[in-house]
Structure 1
């Protein structure tokens, strides 16, 4: 079995079942692009501060970019023996550029490396979701503009209460989406702080420039405390909370679509491209999409609870 990076004081090797149980490569391979970006910034910082030479930094960057191309081409597929994406990248880098590849780990721990990767990944996800919320709002506005004079019953306790404009009803969801968009923006600001340079927990004695690597990665600042830098996951919990609220809002709209499409309500009719049918009940049009959205809401909320505990 391949020797582990932490195993110098161990005479034996891990049991294969424990190796499989411990491995995170099946999950964190999704972080690879961000891991490469973080490593490139770290390598450039090492050269800027004189810890390694500019030539060595260039070798590291070229090797990391080659790994990126291999991954995008489907030719970089590390297995469980690689343990995690960070070790897999470092091992492949050393194969490509030789011993200089080992210098990339100078003044860096997998602790601050993981924290950096997760923040870069989540920052990108937040930007994508915020754009999708804007697209969702555009659809709601279009529906509102064409249904200002369309009246529907407004309900309380599932009993007809007051007539409302369908536009007014749709704009309620527009406002929910606006709060979701704003909330994610606030979380993005707290996510966009660099832990790189915190080391395992107490920093490093190398003369690194944390502000320079943070600037290269587009971070707005750095953690003031190294212990907090490597242990903070508040931003991830905040994101999952915001994601849960988004799913609550989508679940609310989905339930209304399910009710409105029923024969008892008959407010809307589902198009054939957005519904499924039944082999023995041809009159049915099943609202699978909104039903699945409601089901998936529970999964997102479950992730929040999992992170909290």
Structure 2
């Protein structure tokens, strides 16, 4: 058992206790972050005169060789080491001798693991942001092609008013745009370096914390050493943001599942993102959308676990914090995988435009516009509402749309109907006359799409601007 402590102890740790306490099985994931932090630390130690430049160069060479050997598969990270810090330091000492024992000067595993987790999470925030940006590009591409694709808008899962596919997908563009904004906020708050906090109370060595912070791409050092080693707010915030992203993906998946059903037939999912049934040959199942919907709860679970772990911890570091990794890593992997696969599924969807428009026409989605037409002829809205309700009942009996009724049939409900009613209540008119900001009318959507294009052009990385 390779460990970095033991002088205080008179007998070996029980093997079961050692295994229970060890984290090498999962914290090896941030091996590269641990090496990067060690490089920054040893350069600072030499600059401050705490170690010699010769020792610095020897240590840096050893770290380079360890990293190269791990990357090439010549050196394996095994469970004989308690954690990734032990693995790096033990191998360093084995390679460069006594100089390697100076690496940990002015450093604790507490601030070391706080740094590694922060570096790793920061990278995950960036990668998630990149995936969201690509997904937004896919959504925008569909919006641009479907400004005139009419479909029913829904409330309570019932047809309400006509909109366009561009408008409907624009709602998801806004959701994922907000998600990127949340990631930028998180990055901005988390981008401070805990290295140099020591175990909890800093150190007596004259460390230059600003130097190590800047060399690792941080804005600066954390301002309180106790908070530096015990803060996991940034991780909780990221898990919260991932949960919201998954919620948005799940809502979108639910709609695609509905639209793919025989009852809707609004979309056809590409064969590459579907599966069949082992017994029913006619089936084409929306498995990717269903799995995204299902995996949302898995990401929620990581957030709840982390909140629960942290809720009763006194300052400063406690071993409970080791539980910040496994479910968090899983949530990060899950969310990124779902964004990527959902993006691919969405990009290959076939939209059945005629069926969508027919659904809007025969769902009485222009009923409100008929009432508005009568209001324009001088009938009070409440009376117009009642008239249109009776028209809808008649259409249900006749199995037709409102604008399928002849003028004589409409006049039975109100003498105010004239020939101009058909143009006023056509599905196209109902959509295009809605021109307020955020509405589905063509002119409004053209402005919105232009704004979306400008946003993606400007936002190569919102995080860079944080």
Structural mapping, 1:153-164, within 5 Å: 153-164=152-163
Q: 1:48 matched to which residue of 2?
A: 47
Q: What aligned pairs does 1:23-42 form with structure 2 within 5 A after superposition? A: 23-42=22-41
Report the aligned-residue RMSD: 1.0
**Does the alignment pair 1:5 with 2:4?**
yes
Unaligned runs of 5+ residues in structure 1 are none
Q: 2:108 — aligned with what?
A: 109
Alignment partner of 1:129 is 2:149: no
Separation in 2 of the partners of 1:254 and 1:289? 8
Query: Which is further off, 264-273 or 246-255?
Result: 264-273
Structure possessing the higher relative contact order (Cα contacts under 8 Å, 6 or more residues apart)? 2
1:224 alignment partner, SS class: coil
**1:77 Cα offset (Å):** 2.1
Aligned to 2:281: 282
SS of 1:305's partner is: helix
1-side partners of 2:113 and 2:74: how far apart? 23
Larger Rg: 2
The secondary structure found in structure 1 opposite 2:243 is helix
TM-score (norm 2): 0.65
Structure 2 residue matching 1:154: 3-state secondary structure: strand
Give 1:171's aligned residue. Answer: 170
Q: Is the 8 A contact 1:112 1:230 kept in 2?
A: yes
Aligned length: 308
Distance 1:185 1:3, change over 3 A: closer
Query: Conserved in 2, the CA contact under 8 Å of 1:126 and 1:184?
Result: yes
Contact 1:31 1:118 in 2 (8 A): yes
Q: Which runs of 5+ in 2 are unaligned?
A: 309-466
**C-alpha displacement of 1:17:** 1.4
Aligned to 1:78: 77
Report if the CA contact (8 A) 1:223-1:229 is conserved: yes
Cα distance in 2 between the residues matched to 1:189 and 1:75:
38
Please tell me whether the aligned partners of residues 239 and 299 of structure 2 are also in contact (alpha carbons under 8 angstroms). Answer: yes
SS at match of 2:103: helix
Q: Distance in 2 between matches of 1:80 and 1:270?
A: 44
